[in-house]
Chain A
Amino acid sequence: MTPSLTQILLSGAAVAMLATPVLADKASDTLNVAFSLEPEPLDTYKIAGREGLILARHVYDGLLYKDMDSGTFKGLLAESWSQPDPLTLEFKLRRDVTFHNGAAFTADDVVDTLNTVIKPDYGTRYAISVDWIARVEKVDDYTVRIHMAKPFAGAFEMLAGSLPIYPHAYFDAVGSAGMAKAPVGTGPYRLVSQEPGVKYVLERWDGISPESPKAGAQIKTIVVRTMPELNTQYAELMSGKLDWMWRIPPDQADRLASRVQIVSAPIMRISFLNLAPVAASGDTPLKDLRVRQAVAHAIDRDAITRAFAGGASEVLKAFCNPAQFGCTDAVTQYAYDPDKAKALLAEAGYKDGLSLPMTFAAMPRPVAEAIAADLAKVGITVQLDELQYAAGVSKWRERQAPAFFSNWGSYGVGDVAFLLSNFFGGGADDLVQDAELSGWLHEADTATDPELRKADYAKALSRIADEAWVVPMYSFNVNYGLSKDLSFRPYPDEFARFWQSSWK
């Protein structure tokens, strides 16, 4: 008797099933995590993507730790700190900290790491994270001083996450590439194996100082895999092979909600439409304030946010995320009012409408199309041009994209300093070049008095709103998909903290 095709398939499948490895989950105390994007090599100073930074924060510690609930800073590798003068920060270090390779943590590690990564030839990815440090000095084995190159209000934010400390002897021996290949830190998890860009296995580091704000990790093993296709992740999440995934589109989140846990959390990233009053060609209707105001009045931001963002997203009332320090909505508001938009256009001499090229990057096409449709209703004919982010932002900087629809994540930092100065601080992304406005921002970015900073940012945000240089759209949210056994708390900075996770 010859076996039928079904019999052959079934026997093949049975063999395959026997050889399939046992799945890890709550029973084996293993958290299975999926990222769509490949994490970069784990030298924090050279990472741009959130995936690599999340892993790095589990392996490495910085001097400080930001408590997101209270918004205050706690000591992580530092025990206490002081500011002897406006340009000096002094840190007393913890004495009970050990690196994953057994080396004791001392001031030499801080001095060596920071003095290395501030050198331009080291290639630290974001200049903003280190360019405020002039040099770091060892006072004694457990005391260091950071001498600042300039006053910088974001210094503590940077010390709490962006500036991890590496073991100096190992770092000197292996350099950045060696650090990425076999990371050694003081964090709550140590990396036990990695296939770069594919799979990372982290194990709880039981040698962590009990005083560390990151101490007390519950889950023993974390396995992180790169799975580019979201649909494959859904399949694995539903079949119990995955415990954690993120960035689920709103429509998919609704469908998955009955099968797994879906948690929606607001994040720092915001979307907005930049309106440049200047153009490389020399002339643009956007140089007229009334046209910019008309654009702002013509877009139904509530409807667009509800339809396309959903979840925990909010319509923005100013060019900032309400979760950020310095953000205020006490600025000129542009309600959805097509009639007013038409009147403003008529007043500006565009009674018969006008034509406006709009570039968009890193934003969904349907949202850009919805904006174009709203603008068409008041007589503004939009030519949409979708570009990769790099191409779009280059076009903006070259003044060839008068209307540029994109987003900005403020490096996940809850402070408008990391948003406003990029677009209005006088740099390459600032097409307005308003000296008074950039002066306020400079003062706010470098001052230590919170009230003075708030006042300066409020003036800046008012000016930006009055001039309608930006149409703020909405804050982003992230949908997380979790297995039913997992207890996970998301934060607006988009940094997953698995050391706080546990099984239900």
Chain B
Amino acid sequence: MDVVFGAFPFMIDNVGLLLTKTGDHLVISLIPLLAAIVVGVPIGIWLGHAHRGEFLAVSVTNIGRALPSLALIAILIGFVGIGMLNAMIALFLLAFPPILSYAFQAVNSIDRDLTRAARGMGMSHGQVLLKVELPLGLPMIIAGIRTSAVLTVSSATIATIAGSGGLGDVILNQVAYGMEGVVAGAIWVAVLAILVDQAFALLLRVSAPAGVKRLQSTSVA
């Protein structure tokens, strides 16, 4: 019990250390996340727009979910070696499946009547995509990014064993920081994950188009 209370003085004494590690942590987790967004969102949207590749999207999700993060990092140590690159590749592979499958579902599951109506009004394929499918699918695309963001922030703690730095350095170094430091690091990273999650939850609420919000509120009421 003393250890848990000891964690808070540790945090105050070592704010500098924790903040530096948090910065590293965010860099390690956000760069792979960005890469996964850049690759995954367009592919997902394109497949969803064409209503093709459902099997691909579903299997990528299933495979991604089954990949144990530590195992992935370990396998990559064998091939890539120790270092930042290893952690980044591992986190990219973890972040990619949810983003792809959510982006695919976001566009694929839009009511076909809506897209047909848009086509009937004389919109081109590009306009249907940009003016109908993307605004309607945006909340779900962001939901996928949210899932992946939490996953990468959470898995980046383990990536420490590949020598990538970040808050995992504190959590897994009881010899240097003592049990107080370990608990402090754990609390710190848990709060960080919750903050990232809530930030995306906020973005999610903002991103829904006004018309959809009105629809949702009327259908609920």
Are A and B associated in one complex?
no
The residues of A with any CB-CB pair to B shorter than 8 Å are none
